[in-house]
Structures are given as structure tokens and as C-alpha cells.
Structure 1
Amino acid sequence: MLLKTNTNCWELSWQALNAPCMQTPQGVVCAQQWLNDVRGAAQWLDDHSGRVLLYRSDLYEFSVWFFAFLSLGRDIVLPSNDKPVTLAELSQSYDVRVPSKLPDLSEQQQLQTLSGSLDSQLTFFTSGSSGKPKPVIKTIRQLLNEVETLEATFGELIAGSRIVSTVTHQHIYGLLFTVLWPLASGRVVNTQLIEYPEQLAEVLADDGQRHVLVGSPAHLQRLDNLDELSARNEALKAIFSSGGPLPEQVPIDFKKHDLVVPIEVYGSTETGGIAWRQRNNGGEAFTPLVGVKVRATEHGVLAVTSPHLANPEDEFISEDQIKIEQQGRFHLLGRKDTVVKIAEKRVSLNEVERFTLQQDWVSQVKACLLEGKRNEIGLVIILTDSGRKALESEGRFAVRQALRHHLQQRFEKVVVPKRFRYVSALPINDAGKVTQAALQNLFTDVTRND
């Protein structure tokens, strides 16, 4: 590992300053250039006091600013995006933004190390189920503890590989997997974000390197060129997925095309990584990451003890219901907060989703609570090929009635969803997550497609 920690400090150092650090569209950047860029950014920060907001869409520039902050012991404010509404909502959280261009270093130096305090704080903003920004504060100590966990769990698997990504580094998952972990372990990162399936095929075919793909469920299920990727399967060493549940068809399709099955990492911004699974042979249970301990409370809710928490001795009680197996492995059963009241009856949105998926016309589904004079459940559905054909040939009324008839086999009529939206893709935010707010927005349209 290039990054070392002691009781209070971290240190990042290279023995060879000409060692490759990142692969940018302009070429490979060596460690010396990156270190000089970090010091130039640190000089700019020295001249600007107060809280500085860090948003850079370019991964290389982001990494430079990020370590410039840390080398000065400065706290960091990380928005999920730089949209005007987002920045307006966070206006009380920062005083100034970093400039759009990296500052020049006044005097080039041949220093091999960066160092800083482990107590520097980062403020992430998660959307939660409501869609409104919610601040979550972490220390660099917590994040570097998680880097050590990732290396202990997966380091041997991805040895000698380069990192490519479909996810933003502004969120904790992307920050860990595409900035902190690669730099700490000396793995080269391709800074160009993979946005389209053909880009991944080009990367795998281009340089003869082995790669690790850092992805999200939303991106992985949209890879429609698995035949092309399978011809390069030796170049794809591992695939990571996080940010939400991975549809079960995705592991099946990857295995069918002789590609590595994605490793699903479960966790949250608050807890950091908790566990992982790889559905190679149909196994659904998660295995805790190295050093993480889990248990089910008396109410069947996941409780976590982890070095990724602010106090590793504390226990974090989540909102997720689980079933524990042997050796600490566990199954996720859905969130505790998905139980809603419809006509004075309690119903689980997770259970509605699970049962709806058993209908042959449904490929994916998300349920949301629609509040009004009478609360009701709305379903946002991606149809299978047969479902789309039924919609075209039989019409919306017939499809709606078939879905309601199926649901009435499990739920009382009064709670069965009455409103439906048929979409080609689920609405996701920058972190690849589907929020209740985004689902509910689909039902505010003037044109109904129930």
C-alpha cells in the first residue's frame, strides 16, 4: 500500500515519481505531476479561508483538489451535483467554490509524499427517500479504514488491474472505489467516465490491460453489448456494483455470456460498506466485509459494528430487515420504513414489489405511497417483452386489470394498487438510486397512463 496511517496522521508516498498514477484522455499522468498539481491547489486554498465546496466532474481534477484539502487539514463539502437547485439548497453549507481550472504551482518540487490529519471531515449530502439533501459527516479516518477493509477483502482478486467506472466520485461509493482505494494501493484509474456500453468495449479492447469495472445497478442492467464484451472477458477481472439492489437477471445474463458476475457491495453513506455477495451460483446471502460484525435485533433489524463508523465500538441500528444465516451471512428482507397505511391497513411496499415481480409481464417494479384524500399505492413498472406486446395489443385497461387480479391473490382489495406507470427505465439520481420523490413525480403528470 502506498498509503500508511498511524494514530493521528496519514501519509501517501511513492518510491518512483515516474510511476503511473492516472490514465486521462490526454495520456498517463505520473505521480510527480499529480503531486505538483496537488501542491498548486493547496497554495490556492491557503489564500481562501472559510468553507470551500468541492465539485469537479473530472475525476483527475477532483482527486487533486481532494488531497489538497486533506494535506492542509481542511474540511470538505461534497455536493452530489452542481445543479442550480442543489447549490441553492446547500448555500448555507459553504463560502466559496474551487475554481474551474487547476492553479499552477509557483515552484516545482521533487517531494515524494503527502500527509495530513486523520480527523479532517467530509460532508456528504444524500437524498434519502424524500429526495432532499441530508448532510452526513465522515472523517478521513473512517474512509481510510474502509480502504484497508476493501484491500483486505478484494485486493488479491483485483491485483494488477486498472480501474474504470460508470459512477460519480462525488458520492462515497465512487470516492472510495475510484479515488481513495486506487491511490492508496497504487492502481491506475482511467479518469474518463464510462457512460455508454460501447465505451467499455473500447477500453477493454484498447491497451491489453486487465480492468475492474466500478458500476451501479442502473448502468449494469443497461449494458446491451454483452456479446461484444464476452469476446474481451479476459480483460475484465472484476465488476463491482453498489447503490441499490441489482436485478437478479443481471448476474444471470453476465454468467450466460461467460463474463465475471458482479460483486454486489451493500452499505450506506452513514455506515460505509457492510457486506458483499456474488450471485455466481444463485446464492442470495451477503457476507460481512473483513472486520465488520452484524446481528439481527429482536425486531429483525440489521445492527452493525464496524471500523467504518465514527466510533468502532458503537452499534449502528439500520432500517433494513434481515435474516441471519450461519457464520454471520444474512439475507436482506427490505426496509423497515416501507410499511405504509392504506385504508387503516398496514402493507409493505417491499412485499408488494416482490409479489408483483411474480407476474409474467413484469420485469422490474417500484412501489410508492401516493398521499391525498385517500392514500394509495402507485406502481412504476418496466414490462417484459410479453408485457409490452400485451400493452400494445390489449391496451392499458386489460394490462391494469391483469396486474390487479394478480395482486388480489395476495393482498386485500382495498390496498391493491390502482395507479400504474409503465416506463423504459426507472428514475435514478446521481448515485444511481431510486427515491420515493422521483417515483411520486411520475404520478403528477397531467396525462395518466394507469
Structure 2
Amino acid sequence: MATQETSPALVIEPGARRRAIVSSVIGNGLEWFDFGIFSSFSVIISRLMFPPQSGPAMLMIAFASFGIAFVIRPFGGVLLGMYADRAGRKAALSAIILMMSAGTLLIGLTPTYATIGIAASALIVLARMLQGFSAGGEFASATAMLLEYAPQGQRNLIGSFQACSQALSFALGGTVAYLLLHNLTPASLHGWGWRLPFLFGSLIGPIGYYIRSRVDESPEFAAFIKRKHRAPTDRLSLAGIVRHYPRQLLATLGIVAVGTASSYVGLIYIPLFASGQLGLDPGTAQLGMVAGSLVLLVMCPLTGYLADRYGRRRVMLPAMLLYGVLAYPLLASLVNAPDARSLIRFEVVSAFLMSFFWGPSAAALAEAFPVQIRSTGMAIVYNLGAMCFGGLAPLINTWLTKVTGDRLAPAWYIAASVVLGVIGVLAMTQREPLARQSSQHA
């Protein structure tokens, strides 16, 4: 198995580090805001942009339109990841945020099916594909930039800011959806209200581009480029990465599987399931997403710090196992007593446990691969895992619930993802935590 080359300690100015953290987090936050609000308004968008269908068929169309972006994500991830590993993190991230913003703006401006017919459906699919392509490269390139600016003993803590940006975006998206659903009439909501968050989200693109254009290239990547010019290094092809790094790919894929499944089932699907199948008010259901997201926002930096101090495996593994065990009784409680209290309890408890494997996951993925293939390696596993276990999760769980007649089927889906996550953590390369290193050198 190929070994990773280690880089000497690099001196980084605090101001440069702050700019890099902000620029990395803002694009990732935009990605998750866009995906969060699309899930919140996916049923309305499907009614307005696609041919008329009955209730269950409309829900399937809504989740399919949500999931199409994840089918294209692996292609965007690999191509943009390879670009980031060649042209640099800064160039890739600047292009990505503009593409993402363009897709969001297209959703907000597309006329309805009643106005332009099937062209509306085609434009929504095109916009989702553009979002998916750009989002495919966002997490990997942004995380590479973030971790390459992080101090050696704080990589889990700094990496946890990516999870925080996701949680904040879900909270903002859920809050926006709640406010619109509770303060607009159905006619206003369907007429123009649902477009507002997409138009707002598209404005973040130019702002993010300006911030990213002022950030210096990742110092670790820049140092690699200098070494390459002095002593040329062969870059691995996609097939070479798969051949030389099988353990890293499989381990990180397992971590991505449980992370994305917990996100798209716990934060996105369950509120929609509660409103569509259990009869909860749609606005109230959004409060569940907000509650869970706020718990993640608060907890992820703490779990990142704990992983730096005590090691990732000790932090991630117990929480994964407990999450898999409690998923069934928590969901059963919601199904048997579908009210706001049981939904918020499901989201808060789930999010608390999720934070212990969300917080350290970005650093775990980034450190699995050497700098010259870091963006590409992360893009492969993150987008493949997000497609199979995340983006298609609402569609798969809707189908499972319909075919089996078991409204607790999502709990079994979560349990299956936990098994993959546990295998990934056990296969993960261990590194000595900072506290243990300090005691050994004392």
C-alpha cells in the first residue's frame, strides 16, 4: 500500500488562516442551504414544474427531482477534484461557487409547467444537475483547503467547521421554510413565495467568489507544487488511486455512508415523512430539522476537539453504535404518537449522537489521502456515498415504506448505514491524539 508523504510544519499567518476557513465554509454552507431548501419545497416545486400526478406519485417525483443531483455528483466530484489537484484549491473553489449559484438562480427563475409546459421540467432537472455537478467538487476541495490550513493538532476541530456550516444551513433553510409556510397564504406560497430562498441563495455566489478570490493557495498544496517542479512526481490516474488506496477508499466510504444517511434520512426525510405520512403540519415538521441542526451546530466543534484530544475512533465508534440501536425506538415513538414533541425528540437525540461522527469526519477523510490526490480521493468517496446513501435515501425510503407497508423501514436503513460506518472507522488509519503525544514527549 502506498504511503503518504509528510510535510514539514508550515508557518501560516492568522489572517490568512481565517480567510481560508471562511472561504471554505461559505461555499459548503451554500451547497447545503440549496439542498435543504429544495427538499423543503420539493413537493411544491414538483406540483408546479412537472405534469400533474396523484399524491404518492407526486411524492416520488419530488424525491426523484431531489435525487437527480446526486446521480451527477460523482462525475462533477471526480472532474473538479482532479482539477483542484492540478490547478489548485483556490481556482477550483472559485469556479465551483459560481456554478452552484447559477443552478440555484435557475430554479428560482424558471416559469411553471402551466406557463411553458415540459420545458419547465427540463429546466428544473438541468438546474439540479448543475447544482449536483458543482456540489460534487465543493466538499472535497473546500475540505482540502480547510485542513491544509489547519494546525497539526487541531485538524479535527478545524474540520468540524464544515459540519457546522452544513448544520447552520439546514437550520436556516428550515427556518425560512417555516416562516414562509406560516406567514403566506397557499396562493402566495405557490405563486412566488417558494422562489424567495432560491433567489436569496443565488446572491451568496458572487459574495463567496469575492471572498475566495482573496484567499492564498493552500500552503501545503503550494509546497507540493514547488517540490514537484524540483523533482517531478507522477500523478495517479483515477484507476491508480483505486489500485493504490483501496483501504483508504473503503474506510472513508463507510464513514460517508453513515454521515450522509443520517443527514438525509434524519434531517430531511423524517420531517417530510412526518408531514406527508403522519399528518403533522408542514411548518411544524420544519421545526424538527431546525432543532436537530442547532444541536449539530453546537456539538460538532466540541466533538472535533475531543477527537483531537482522545482520538477519532474513541469519539466516533460508540456514538455510531448507539445511533444505530436507538433509531428504531425513536422512530417508533414518532410513528405511534406523531406530534411536534416526538418529532423534536427524534431530531435532538439523533443529532446529538450524529455530532460525534460528523465533527471528526472531514479531517478523517482529508488525512486518508496525500496532498497530490486529496481532492480527487475525497470526491470519489464523498459523492459516491452521498449518491447511494444520502441523496437517494428519501426516494429509497419512500419506496421501502410503500412496498413493505412498514413505516419503521427508515430505521433499518439507518442501521444498515451504521454497519458500514463502523467498518469504516475500524479500517481507518489510527493517529496518536495530541494529548497522548504530549504525554509521551514530556
Q: TM-score, normalised by structure 1?
A: 0.21
Q: Which has the larger radius of gyration?
A: 1
More helix by share: 2
